[in-house]
C-alpha cells in the first residue's frame, strides 16, 4: 500500500488477556520499528527488524512483549497477560535500508486495558 497500515485501529481488552497488533509496512521498506506512545508523551522505542537479521529487542519493557516479522513484511506485536499500564498507542514505522531514514509511521493501534 501507499503507507504503513496498522490494525486494529482500536482495541479494548480486559486485564490479563493477550493481544496481537499488526503492522504492514510500506512496500519495499525492509526496516520496521515498533514504538509506544503513552497519553501526552513522546514515542518510546520497542523493537526493530531489518531483513532476516535478529531483531533489536532492547526497548521491550518486559518479557510479556514479543514481536515477529514473517516473510520480511508484515509484523505482529504480541502482549501477553496485559496490564493496565500497557494502555497506550502502539505505532509502527518503516524505512528503506539504504540511508535508513526517515521513518514513516502508521496511524497506530490505540490499546485500552480495562
Residues that bind another protein (CB under 8 A): 4, 6, 31, 33, 35, 40-45, 48, 50, 56, 59, 91, 93, 95-108
Q: Between residues 78 and 97, which has the closer beta carbon with respect to another protein?
A: 97
Q: Between residues 64 and 104, which has the closer beta carbon with respect to another protein?
A: 104
SS3 26: coil
Q: How many CB atoms lie within 10 A of CB 34?
A: 26
Listed in sequence order, the residues at least 6 apart from 53 whose beta carbon sits closer than 8 Å to its beta carbon are none
Query: For the chain, what is the radius of gyration of the CA atoms?
Result: 13
- Minimum CB separation of residue 104 from another protein in Å reads 6
Q: Between residues 43 and 74, which has the closer beta carbon with respect to another protein?
A: 43
- Minimum CB separation of residue 19 from another protein in Å reads 19
Q: How many CB atoms lie within 10 A of CB 51?
A: 10
Amino acid at each position: 500500500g501507499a503507507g504503513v497500515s496498522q490494525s486494529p485501529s482500536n482495541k479494548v481488552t480486559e486485564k490479563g488477556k493477550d493481544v496481537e497488533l499488526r503492522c504492514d509496512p510500506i512496500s519495499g521498506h525492509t526496516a520496521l520499528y515498533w514504538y509506544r506512545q503513552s497519553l501526552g508523551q513522546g514515542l518510546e522505542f520497542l523493537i526493530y527488524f531489518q531483513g532476516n537479521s535478529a531483531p533489536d529487542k532492547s526497548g521491550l519493557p518486559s518479557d510479556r512483549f514479543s514481536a515477529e516479522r514473517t516473510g520480511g513484511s508484515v509484523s505482529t506485536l504480541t502482549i501477553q497477560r496485559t496490564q493496565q499500564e500497557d494502555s497506550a498507542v502502539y505505532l509502527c514505522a518503516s524505512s528503506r535500508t539504504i540511508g535508513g531514514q526517515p521513518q514513516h509511521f502508521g496511524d497506530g493501534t490505540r490499546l485500552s486495558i480495562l
